[in-house]
Structures are given as structure tokens and as C-alpha cells.
């Protein structure tokens, strides 16, 4: 398999998607952050326990903004008009872990995997930023693509 972001001489380039069909594309990504008990407790009491306010509300907005800025952050990504982006959080009390799941959608000539992954990353980084006064030892873990749909390659799902 050849890498698509390099030309025949090995120079980096933006992939030419001009001849591709615009199709509905969707990508789902996930990641998690492991927190101390005190930081995890701050997620349950927005505004009360966190020095910066509603952690999950701000992280949701940050994830959406991150997805919209993907082409500014990743050098060879095409700017995409997102038609939808959802952000969901799951709290795992037993393990003091927060999981974020993002779903990006567009109708276009290239996929939205990078937008979904960027949204998950920025959302988790925002949680870290907002809770670092309580816990500097938080660990962001397992950011991964779970599923992508659309385009020539069709559907792919993490096994």
C-alpha cells in the first residue's frame, strides 16, 4: 500500500480529491482520561468543585471547535464543511475514567476521520486544562477511530 500524502519523489502534498464523488461520510472516534478521585468528583458538581466551572460543557464546546479547526492543525488535511458533530461523555466511577465519543459527518469528497479524532483529543485536553488545579497527574489514553463510513473504501470498523 502506498502513502497518499507523498508524491512519486517523496514530497509531501495534499491529496487531489477533485475527481472523487461527494458522498455522505461519517466517522466515530473515542478517547479517555484517567483522573484522581478528587478530579473525578469535580465532574459531578459543575461550577462547585472545579475552579473553572462546567467542565463537561466547556469540553463539549472545545471538541466541536477542535473539529472545525482540524485543517488548521493538521497540515495536509482538507478543510471540510461539517454537517454534524456530536460529543458524548461516559463516566466510569469505578475506575475514575471519563470517556469521550465524537461523531463527525459531512457530505464531501474526503473523509472526516481526522475531524472526529481531533474533536476527541481537544475535548480531553480541555478536561485536563480545567481540572489540572486538582490533579496534574491525569492521563489521556486510547484515542482511536472506532468507525468510518462513506467514500470509495466504504465502511471500516475497529475489530
- The ranges assigned to domains in the chain are 23-151
Marked catalytic residue, from 16, 48, 92, 129? 129
Strand 156-157 with 84-92, pairing = unpaired
State mean pLDDT over 112-121.
98
The pLDDT of residue 33 is above 80: yes
CATH numeric code, 23-151: 3.30.70.640
Which pTM was predicted?
Answer: 0.89
Any residues with CB less than 8 A from the CB of 72 and at least 6 apart, and which? none
Q: Establish whether 92 is a catalytic residue.
A: no
**What does the mean pLDDT of the chain come to?**
90
Range name among 24-28, 47-51, 52-56 with the lowest pLDDT average:
47-51
To the nearest 10 degrees (0 to 180), the angle between helices 113-131 and 55-68 is 150
pLDDT at residue number 80: 94
Amino acid at each position: 500500500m502506498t502513502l497518499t500524502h507523498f508524491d512519486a519523489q517523496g514530497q509531501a502534498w495534499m491529496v487531489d480529491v477533485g475527481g472523487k464523488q461527494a458522498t455522505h461520510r461519517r466517522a466515530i472516534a473515542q478517547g479517555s482520561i484517567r483522573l484522581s478521585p478528587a478530579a473525578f468528583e469535580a465532574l459531578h458538581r459543575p461550577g462547585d468543585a472545579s475552579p473553572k466551572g462546567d467542565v463537561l460543557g466547556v469540553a463539549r464546546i472545545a471538541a466541536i471547535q477542535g473539529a472545525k479547526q482540524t485543517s488548521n492543525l493538521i497540515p495536509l488535511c482538507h478543510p471540510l464543511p461539517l454537517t454534524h458533530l456530536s460529543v458524548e461523555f461516559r463516566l466510569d466511577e469505578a475506575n475514575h475514567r471519563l470517556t469521550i465519543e465524537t461523531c463527525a459527518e459531512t457530505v464531501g469528497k474526503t473523509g472526516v476521520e481526522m475531524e472526529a479524532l481531533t474533536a476527541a483529543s481537544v475535548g480531553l485536553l480541555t478536561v485536563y486544562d480545567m481540572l489540572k488545579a486538582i490533579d496534574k497527574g491525569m492521563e489521556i489514553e486510547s484515542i482511536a477511530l472506532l468507525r468510518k463510513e462513506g467514500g470509495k473504501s466504504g465502511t471500516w470498523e475497529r475489530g
